[in-house]
């Protein structure tokens, strides 16, 4: 087609989009219809759905802490109890968003009460400024109530504005938490918990142990019997307000199950007596540390177990591991002469010696290339005097009479080289070299307590084999009527014979006269042990002062082992350092248990003479 106006280009026809427009309008109208229909459905016909959704945002599940079981002594006196406390946490993000939310709520309230009226920018700034000042004052007061450093909470908010949870105080007294709650700070939350309290403090600290901030046992009975003590947490359904604060309880979903109470074999009275006397001895002798164990000779119950130094489990600030380990069960030492009664019993029971066998000591004794020495030249000694004078040469001759396997088997039966299995973590097994690796000098040194190692509890347990007529008892920290795992190690005749011999150790010319107990016969043995200095042999001025004994010797009720590490005030012999502690604790314990005296008391006579 020609354009007579001189333009040779052909004009294109205009496209018609009316169809697309109609489709788009139809689609938009359909979407609007669906939305309106859905709104009507939810708000008129199916409004329960929105209510349920609202409830989901207001109704929440809250955990309920379980009450941790009590730890009691054998008479029911509390050693560990749980008290209700509150832990306080914050939501930094919520606190930071609070200013804007408060302004929005204020504007909404203004619109509802005065339609058409709005805050100016200046008014908004003034409202925010006033609100921030009030909030800062409340935060400062909260920090003061909780004993927090100044601006600690503000620093936490500034450092992480996206964080939604942080503890600011744990295990707070409920009275203080109520004062904090009265401040009505947005983003501050309160959770009920339990805090462990130990009424006897450092007296039973090593035995009972302690829990952490989450109420989980960390040491002692608390850790060893965690599964029994901890219980099972519950949960409840609660209603929260828009600020996430609990405003009402709906129902308990699961009831918490309290932990079980544990009744220990410990007698709190004897425990305190032992703690006091051991503390006095450590201070008087300038000792590094010490342990003391009181055991029931008839069934293996531990009636007291104390250590020095100790700690206060109610205030564990700056606590060091060296303070809270239970040395009586975890620390080992070479027992020295305290094992000599077992060598004599083994030799006597096996028929290798008799009570009348004579041992020629003469001050030194050659064993291969080595020499065994006594402190003095005792000359000829019978079996009783070997124990009374604590002759290394005498017990060496006994040990060399016995086959290595037999000698080793007696030590093994006594529990040396095996854990006492009292139920606490970290219990020592000690050391006992296999008899196949023994040389003659090994037998000699082991006969007077070197070359093997034990804990105080292991040593106390071994003495039950002498105290209960040859029966070795298992160890228990839980109260029980009788031992269900007794083992015979020696004959009753041999055990009684050795006990009678050990009574002479407590005589005036024996090595442990300071261990005597007025009104009661005592059988025991001292040990003065040079401390090992590793590859350099043994130290010439560092000792373990040890005493192990029982009373009444005629029918033993109690066994006490005292071990004092590195006494440095001048005396270091077991008979002068540890035996007096034994005497004081045994005297008090026998009277507390109403054990009848088995000999005439001399103390009243002495007191009468002193007053004349």
Closest CA to 220 of 206, 199, 241, 234: 206
Give the CA distances from residue 47 to residues 36, 345, 423, 517, in Å, rounded to whole numbers and listed in that order. 14, 90, 61, 87
| Residues 512 and 579 sit within 8 Å (Cβ to Cβ) | yes
Strand 262-263 to 188-197 pairing: unpaired
Does the active-site annotation cover 455? no
The DSSP result for 25-48, as a single string, is HHHHHHHHHHHHHHHHIIIIISTH
φ, ψ (nearest 5 deg) of residue 490? -125, 160
DSSP 282: H
Closest CA to 261 of 465, 70, 31: 70
Closest CA to 64 of 286, 231, 178, 205: 231
Angle, to 10 degrees, between the axis of helix 92-113 and the axis of helix 121-146? 140
Q: Which of 337, 390, 453, 455 is catalytic?
A: 337
| Residues 315 and 309 sit within 8 Å (Cβ to Cβ) | no
Query: Please, what is the end-to-end C-alpha distance for the chain in angstroms?
Result: 157
Distance CA(278)–CA(206), nearest Å, equals 14
Torsion of CA 255, 91, 314, 257, to 10 degrees: 10
> Which segments of 382-425 does DSSP mark as H helices, in order?
383-389, 392-401, 404-413
Distance CA(606)–CA(66), nearest Å, equals 58
- Secondary structure (3-state) at 513: helix
φ, ψ (nearest 5 deg) of residue 542? -120, 130
| Residues 137 and 183 sit within 8 Å (Cβ to Cβ) | no
Opening angle at CA 502, ends 466 and 399, nearest 5? 75
| Residues 250 and 59 sit within 8 Å (Cβ to Cβ) | yes
Give the CA distances from residue 420 to residues 425, 439, 575, in Å, rounded to whole numbers and listed in that order. 11, 28, 26
| Residues 264 and 251 sit within 8 Å (Cβ to Cβ) | no
Give the CA distances from residue 316 to residues 205, 306, 325, in Å, rounded to whole numbers and listed in that order. 11, 18, 14
- 104: Cα separation from own chain's centroid: 52
Angle, to 10 degrees, between the axis of helix 404-413 and the axis of helix 440-447? 30
The DSSP result for 186-204, as a single string, is TTEEEEEEEEEE-TTGGGS
Enzyme catalytic residues = 337
């Amino acid at each position: 087609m020609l354009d007579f106006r001189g333009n040779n280009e052909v004009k294109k026809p205009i496209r018609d989009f009316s169809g697309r427009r109609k489709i788009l309008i139809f689609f938009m109208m359909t979407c609007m219809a669906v939305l309106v229909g859905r709104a009507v459905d939810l708000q008129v016909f199916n409004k329960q759905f929105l209510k349920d959704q609202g409830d989901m945002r207001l109704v929440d599940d809250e955990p309920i802490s379980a009450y941790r079981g009590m730890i009691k002594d054998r008479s029911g006196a509390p050693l560990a109890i749980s008290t209700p406390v509150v832990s306080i946490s914050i939501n930094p993000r919520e606190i930071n968003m609070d200013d804007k939310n408060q302004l929005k709520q204020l504007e909404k309230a203004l619109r509802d009460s005065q339609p058409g009226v709005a805050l100016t920018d200046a008014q908004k700034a003034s409202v925010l400024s006033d609100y921030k000042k009030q909030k800062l004052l409340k935060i400062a007061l909260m920090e003061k109530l909780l004993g927090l450093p100044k601006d600690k909470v503000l620093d936490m908010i500034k450092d992480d504005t996206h964080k939604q949870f942080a503890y600011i105080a744990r295990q707070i007294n409920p009275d203080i938490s109520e004062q904090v709650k009265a401040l009505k700070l947005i983003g501050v939350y309160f959770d009920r918990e339990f805090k462990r309290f130990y009424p006897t403090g450092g007296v039973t600290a090593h035995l009972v142990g302690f829990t952490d901030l989450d109420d989980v046992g960390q040491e002692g009975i608390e850790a060893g019997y965690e599964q029994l003590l901890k219980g099972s947490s519950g949960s409840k359904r609660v209603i929260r307000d828009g600020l996430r604060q609990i405003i009402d309880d709906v129902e308990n979903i699961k009831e918490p199950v309290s932990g079980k109470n544990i009744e220990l074999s410990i007698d709190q009275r004897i425990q305190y007596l032992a703690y006091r006397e051991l503390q006095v001895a450590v201070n008087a002798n300038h000792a590094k540390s010490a342990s003391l164990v009181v055991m029931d000779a008839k069934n293996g119950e531990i009636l007291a177990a104390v250590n020095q130094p100790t700690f206060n489990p109610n205030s564990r600030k700056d606590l060091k591991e060296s303070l809270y380990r239970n040395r009586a069960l975890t620390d080992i030492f070479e027992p020295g002469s305290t094992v000599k009664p077992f060598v004599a019993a083994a030799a006597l029971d096996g028929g290798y010696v008799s009570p009348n066998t004579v041992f020629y000591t003469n001050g030194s004794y050659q064993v291969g290339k080595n020499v065994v020495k006594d402190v003095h030249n005792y000359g000829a000694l019978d079996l009783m005097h070997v124990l009374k004078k604590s002759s290394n040469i005498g017990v060496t001759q006994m040990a060399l009479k016995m086959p290595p396997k037999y000698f080793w088997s007696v030590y093994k039966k006594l529990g040396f080289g095996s854990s006492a299995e009292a139920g606490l973590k970290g219990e020592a097994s000690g050391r006992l070299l296999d008899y196949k690796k023994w040389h003659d000098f090994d037998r000699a040194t082991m006969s007077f307590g070197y070359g093997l190692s034990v804990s105080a509890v292991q040593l106390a347990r071994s003495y039950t084999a002498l105290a209960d007529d040859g029966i070795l008892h298992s160890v228990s920290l839980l109260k029980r009527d009788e031992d269900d795992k007794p083992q015979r190690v020696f004959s009753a005749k041999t055990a009684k014979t050795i006990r009678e011999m050990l009574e002479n150790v407590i005589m005036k010319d024996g090595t442990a006269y300071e261990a005597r107990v007025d009104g009661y016969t005592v059988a025991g043995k001292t040990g003065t042990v040079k401390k090992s200095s590793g590859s350099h042999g043994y130290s010439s001025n560092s000792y373990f002062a040890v005493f192990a004994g029982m009373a009444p010797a005629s029918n033993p009720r109690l066994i006490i082992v005292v071990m004092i590490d590195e006494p440095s005030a001048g005396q270091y012999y077991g008979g002068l350092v540890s035996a007096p502690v034994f005497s004081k604790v045994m005297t008090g314990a026998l009277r507390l248990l109403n054990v009848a005296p088995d000999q005439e008391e001399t103390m009243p006579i002495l007191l009468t003479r002193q007053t004349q």
